[in-house]
Amino acid sequence: MSEANPFAIPEDEFEEDYVRPSSGPGGQHQNKTENGVRLQWNVAATAVLTDEQKERLRALAAPYMQDDLLVVMERSSRSLARNRERARERIRELALAALPTPRKRRPTKPTKASKERRLKEKAVRGRIKALRSKRNSDD
| Predicted pLDDT at 2 | 45
Q: Let me know if residue 4 belongs to a domain.
A: no
Backbone angles phi, psi at 73, to 5 degrees: -105, 135
Q: Let me know if residue 32 belongs to a domain.
A: yes
Q: Let me know if residue 43 belongs to a domain.
A: yes
Give this prediction's pTM.
Answer: 0.64
CB 43 within 8 A of CB 64: no
Domain count, the chain: 1
Q: Let me know if residue 1 belongs to a domain.
A: no
Per-residue tens of pLDDT for the chain, all 139 residues: 444 556 788 888 888 888 876 556 666 666 677 788 899 988 888 888 889 988 998 898 888 888 888 899 888 887 888 998 999 999 899 888 888 888 899 999 999 999 999 999 999 999 999 999 877 555 5
Q: Let me know if residue 109 belongs to a domain.
A: no
CB 57 within 8 A of CB 42: no
Q: Let me know if residue 51 belongs to a domain.
A: yes
Which domain CATH number covers 78?
A: 3.30.160.20
Q: Let me know if residue 86 belongs to a domain.
A: yes
| Predicted pLDDT at 1 | 42
Q: What is the extent of the structural domain holding 25?
A: 11-98
Q: Let me know if residue 105 belongs to a domain.
A: no
